[in-house]
Amino acid sequence: MDKNKLFETVESKADLLTALSDRIWEYAELSMMEHKSTAAYLQILRDEGFDVTENLCGIETAFSGAFGSGRPYIGILGEYDALSGLSQEPGITEQRPLIEGGCGQGCGHNLLGVASLGAAIAVKQAIEAGELSGTVIFYGCPGEEGCAGKTFMARDGMFRDLDAALCWHPGDVNEISTGSNAASIQVEYIFTGIAAHAAGNPQHGRSALDAAELMNVGVQFLREHMDPKCSVHYSFADAGGLSPNVVQPTAKLIYMVRGENVRKAKALLKRVDNIARGAALMTETEMTTRQIDGTSSTISNEVLEQLLYDNLCAVPLPTYTQRELTYAATLKTTYHTEGLPGNRTAENRQVRSFVAEKSDNGNAAVNDFIIPYVPSNYFNPGSSDVGDVSWLTPTAQFTAVTWPSGCPGHSWQIVSAGRTSFAHKGMLYAAKVLAASVSDLMTKPELLEKARAEFRISAAEGYDCPISKDLLPTIG
Ligand SMILES: [Zn+2]
Ligand SMILES: [Zn+2]
């Protein structure tokens, strides 16, 4: 298979893909509410001749588009959900919401899903032309930000049949995402007390707010005694009413616990549950708990990572106009950044000196180079629902440059950059890397077998789903 043909297909679809990305950017729909985005994807998948399945796992905004026949089955993952409060005018270098309080694509998922689709279309055309054989499946995965949609899909049987899955994420570096992510579990604790006049008859009241505060204090003391790779985060979802002269009868906390793997996250959650029970006991209130979502740790696959890296290097990197470079440099002045770019850069001396030179010691606005790939045990304390896919089939991911160096995650700057020609170039680059990698997996069975052999060892423990059997995804 001449990979240039795949790249030509992506280029020939550049207008379609760019327009779709911009539409998804405009829709900026929150987790599990991505109805317009889903309709836009379904339309294109059907127009392109994919075999479409809607309502995957009973989720209205989850879908797939398959093309081809027989093995290998190669999945490409796409996301499209947005974040609240990040509405922003595109392509400008100051914070200015389009809609006050509106949503925005603050994680670049408009680009993420569309590059994955672009790769699927390129592979589809090669299958049609008889140049590749196998089945390519694009997965529309909703609710990455709000409720870990892929975990629900993984629990309900998706991804298991795949021979491999590939994914990417927009970013500020061209880099293989090696190492692992933390597992996470999100839970709410609801305390119910008895309202009373806080001065008139406080002895009759039982304060849910007190219980919530005591729980938080208890967890602060727990923090010293946790595994170093664990973390606990919380928010107050309900602190009772606004009147201080009422004993607050309701309170709700949302907790997220993270651990090196699901087993450790579940063990930590038990300790947090005990603290919640203790707080209820101390305050004579009732406590109920409800899980919201969860994600698994990520298992890396070095065979697939090397493959993605080879294709990061094989696809010509985008070149930028002076206007695009000036935009990136000006946007970079709106946030603080320090250190060298790349999550895994600091770990390896050779990589560090390479990146230092290429990025002008981290001062360059655009990281227009590829960070050398070195397999590593790097532990990312954040979490991703791609982790759940990685326990079911060999999975690998990379990041490609779609915003300036050091740009903070989930920021207005990312929303601004996400609808520019600068970002579109990175998106098309990512589509080509994915398409070329799928092509290799379809033409080199020995490579796929090596990836699967590695997976059989690394995933030998088996998938321990972090969410309960009947949990439904949270909407919004
Ligand atoms: Zn995000
Ligand atoms: Zn994201």
Cα of 212 vs centre of ligand 2, distance in Å, is 31
Tokens linked to 297: 């740790």
**What confidence score (pLDDT) does residue 344 get?**
81
Please enumerate in sequence order all residues whose Cβ is within 8 A of that of 385, keeping only pairs 6 or more positions apart, or say none: 141, 144, 148, 149, 150, 151, 154, 295
Ligand nearest to the CA of 386: 2
Cα of 442 vs centre of ligand 1, distance in Å, is 31
Cα of 435 vs centre of ligand 1, distance in Å, is 24
> d(Cα 337, Cα 413) in Å, to the nearest integer?
13
In a domain? residue 122: yes
Q: Which of 233, 259, 294 is the last residue of a domain?
A: 294
Cα of 198 vs centre of ligand 2, distance in Å, is 45
In a domain? residue 473: no
Query: Can you tell me which residue has the tokens 């779709």?
Result: 20
In a domain? residue 472: no
Please enumerate in sequence order all residues whose Cβ is within 8 A of that of 274, keeping only pairs 6 or more positions apart, or say none: none
**What confidence score (pLDDT) does residue 346 get?**
78
For the chain (length 476 residues), average pLDDT per consecutive 10? Answer: 97 98 98 98 98 97 98 98 97 98 98 98 98 98 95 98 98 96 98 98 98 98 97 97 97 98 98 98 98 97 98 98 98 95 87 96 97 92 96 98 97 98 98 98 98 98 97 93
Cis peptide leading into residue 142 (ω within 30°): no
Whether 150 and 193 map to the same domain: the answer is no
Q: Bridge partners of 294?
A: 185
Ligand nearest to the CA of 146: 1
Whether 69 and 189 map to the same domain: the answer is no
> d(Cα 169, Cα 176) in Å, to the nearest integer?
10
CB 169 within 8 A of CB 410: no
Domain count, the chain: 2
Reference 251, options 217, 218, 277, 213; nearest CA is: 213
> d(Cα 7, Cα 455) in Å, to the nearest integer?
29
In a domain? residue 466: no
The model carries a pTM of 0.96
Cα of 107 vs centre of ligand 1, distance in Å, is 5
Whether 66 and 176 map to the same domain: the answer is yes
Whether 194 and 71 map to the same domain: the answer is no
DSSP code string of 311-363:
HHHHSPPP---HHHHHHHHHHHTTS---S-SSTTGGG-HHHHHHHHHHTTTTT
Cα of 279 vs centre of ligand 2, distance in Å, is 35
Cα of 173 vs centre of ligand 2, distance in Å, is 14
In a domain? residue 463: no
Cα of 64 vs centre of ligand 2, distance in Å, is 19
Cα of 130 vs centre of ligand 2, distance in Å, is 35
In a domain? residue 464: no
Cα of 63 vs centre of ligand 1, distance in Å, is 20
Cα of 291 vs centre of ligand 2, distance in Å, is 22
Cα of 169 vs centre of ligand 2, distance in Å, is 7
Whether 301 and 287 map to the same domain: the answer is no
**What confidence score (pLDDT) does residue 54 get?**
98
Q: Bridge partners of 258?
A: 184, 231
CATH code of 271's domain: 3.30.70.360
Whether 195 and 80 map to the same domain: the answer is no
Q: Which of 234, 269, 294 is the last residue of a domain?
A: 294
Whether 127 and 25 map to the same domain: the answer is yes
Range of the domain at 355: 3-181+297-458
